[in-house]
Amino acid sequence: MSTQSAAVPTSLGAAPAVPLKLPRKAPVFAGETHSQLVRRARKMHKVLTETYPDAHCELDFTTPLELLVATILSAQTTDVMVNKVTPTLFAKYPDAKAFAEADREEMEAILKPTGFFRAKTNSVMKLGQLLVDEYDGVVPDKLEELVKLPGTGRKTANVVLGNAFGVPGITVDTHFGRLVRRFGWTEETDPVKVEHLIGELFGKKDWTMLSHRLIFHGRRRCHAKKPACGACPIAQWCPSFGDGPTDPDLAAKLVKVPA
């Protein structure tokens, strides 16, 4: 396995005086016990908490129904794009009954910018009808009921539970799954297994915000193709340090700051 010697930053723009020799890829921490993994993961989360004090759900919503619909629409597109169309959507369709009775072509026209608009229109209309028929138009607050709704899997259900109902949940989206594997917290790729395994590393009260902080980090620094390793505040605990530029100046150029 090839190795490289590099100064691992302990904070943005800072580096320890003594360089550390770290492999480019895992397993740097392959021999750690479960308790050591828990301590390392929690240290990383503590620093991410300090780095992203404003981490939050980046979908705009005011009700559980709005969040549920927005999350369904976020598939294969960005939260920014969803937030552009939902003000018009929610103004025209303010409740489940309105979604159920919507004119399909009119809704498709609104949702077209999000991609896969026909399938999404179908899901939203079916969702509205089911909520009217079985839940008096109200979004349920139980995981086992949410996952039965059209267009709603565990990821979407946990988004709604954590952010609309205050029920702790881990949201395993593409960013979250990629980062926990890159961090060496798990090698699992199945979202349900990832959800349960990562849940064991943290207290339940931290689950929702853990999801937000990892998603923030994935969008801003720990990119899929070229992570900003030299500008990463948790690099000293990451077995994948070196997957991206380790030079602080080069890495800083990769950091994305949303408008």
Of the candidates 112, 173, 226, 243, the residue annotated as catalytic is 173
For residue 6, what pLDDT band results from cuts at 50, 70 and 90? very low
Q: Where are the domains of the chain?
A: 3-55+170-252, 64-164
For residue 2, what pLDDT band results from cuts at 50, 70 and 90? very low
Catalytic (active site) residue 84: no
Q: Is 4 helix (H, G, I), strand (E, B) or coil?
A: strand
For residue 31, what pLDDT band results from cuts at 50, 70 and 90? confident
* Segments in 112-190 forming alpha helices (H): 117-135, 143-146, 154-164, 174-182
Say how far apart CA 15 and CA 256 lie, in whole Å: 21
Instruction: Just give the CATH number of 3-55+170-252.
Output: 1.10.1670.10
- Convert the pLDDT of each residue in 138-177 to its tens digit: 999 999 999 999 999 999 999 999 999 999 999 999 999 9
CB 67 within 8 A of CB 138: no
- Residue 189 contacts by C-beta under 8 Å, 6 or more apart in sequence? 177, 181
- In total, the chain counts a number of residues equal to 259
CB 241 within 8 A of CB 230: no
Res 11 pLDDT > 70: no
Of the candidates 155, 190, 225, 253, the residue annotated as catalytic is 155
* Alpha-carbon torsion angle 214, 220, 225, 226, nearest 10: -120
> Span 201-218, mean pLDDT?
97
- Convert the pLDDT of each residue in 81-132 to its tens digit: 999 999 999 999 999 999 999 999 999 999 999 999 999 999 999 999 999 9
> Span 28-57, mean pLDDT?
91
Weakest-pLDDT range from 14-18, 35-39, 103-107, 120-124: 14-18
> Span 43-57, mean pLDDT?
96
Say how far apart CA 168 and CA 2 lie, in whole Å: 41
- Residue 70 contacts by C-beta under 8 Å, 6 or more apart in sequence? 59, 60, 61, 82, 83, 86
pLDDT recorded at residue 21: 36
Catalytic (active site) residue 25: no
Say how far apart CA 206 and CA 97 lie, in whole Å: 35
Q: Which fold does the domain 64-164 belong to in CATH?
A: Endonuclease III; domain 1 (1.10.340)
Instruction: Look over the chain and give the mean of its residue pLDDT values, rounded to a whole number.
Output: 89
Cα 256–chain centre separation: 16
- DSSP class of residue 7 equals P
Res 236 pLDDT > 90: yes
